[in-house]
Amino acid sequence: MDKIIINGSYPLKGKVKVSGAKNSTLPIMAACLLSPSKFILKNIPPVLDAYTMTKLLSSLGAKVKWLNETTVSIDSTNVKMWKAPYQIVSKMRASVCVLGPLLARFKKAEVSYPGGCVIGTRPIDLHLKGLEKLGANIELKDGYVIARAKELNGKAIYLAGVYGSTVLGTANVLMAATLAKGETTIEGAACEPEVVDLGNFLIKMGAKIKGLGSPTITIKGVKELHGAEHTIISDRIEAGTYLISGIISRGEVEVEDINPKFLTVFIDKLIECGVKVEQTAKSIKVKAGPNLKPLEITTLPYPGFPTDLQAQMTAFLATIPGISFIHEKIYPDRFMHAAELLRMGAKIMREGATTMIQGGQLIGAPVMASDLRASAALVLAGIAAKGKTEVNRVYHIDRGYPKIDKKLASLGAKIRRVKA
């Protein structure tokens, strides 16, 4: 098992390119199951979750071939299986997004129920509610979600939950509705760029969809879909993470191949904090100002502040004099990183879904990664800390950050990956 070792307190400087969006890639790969056709997907991030999804598609009968590090061909012509096995689904919660495509294509699907998650309970009740509205009979048996339908019929479906819209739930229902009879309207739909990316791919396949990027999506069902070629959008969370690496180190970093519109609220918060921000159509450049100020942040569904950048911002705010507050409105238990940051000298107090952060100097220490974004937060903290930081269990970070050690090293970070 690898670990990442960082010698901190070196300002980062330079440019870094963003990879394809992991959260677009996984449902788009799953969407290839909708039609017995051939697909070419470009700008796939070379991360563990993408490789896991290729294994899942292959287990169902798809022919998957990597044409290069970021391009994959998927031929789902001979897919005959509709059961997604526990051995693969248990490794990645996003595997559940094959449920909608399999049900739409075969009128039956069996997908292992996703297990618990360290960032908190993440039920799929809204996925199942939406598919039931389309006409599926849902049964939970032996740890599997078993869905069957004589036919799928378009309906008006409300998908927002207690903590806002569901991204994967919207994806699952959106994919299933493309082959349903009649018209489906999803109210309370997720507005994330990754959902829009999926919708644009489905349109290339022949789907009829309107309202992408808004809380109301309308789908007119078609009899069949066909193959397509698509380039995945850039990863806004990876972009935000590298921007934070620049300012937490009190350096100057430019992130390339990213649309700033994907990060509007995040950028606004950086400016409010005192960070100097320059934007072009495809890049964002940040420089830490001399008098950074504490912040109050509330995570919300897109276009609000992304929950997937909450841990990284916690690490940053732990270095700014004064008291900052973060209110987590998406995953109230998403604070596993806080205990490890305390080991590095951070002053963080938690009250329910809110943390209070008293900024100061971080000190290097051995820490343990608990999940993908917490891993990134600990690496960022190590970049800012005095002395040496060891981040253990970094296989979490490999799920969503391609070559993070090499990208940070290219910016001047004193970082290396070693065998634990």
Active centre residues (catalytic): 117
Whole-angstrom CA distances from 394 to 9, 20, 40, 158 are 21, 20, 30, 38
- Neighbouring residues of 300: CB distance < 8 A, sequence distance ≥ 6: 164, 329, 330
Whole-angstrom CA distances from 95 to 27, 41, 47, 54, 118 are 8, 18, 15, 10, 17
Beta bridge partners of 15: 254
Q: How many CB atoms lie within 10 A of CB 136?
A: 25
CA 78 to CA 67: how far, in whole Å?
20
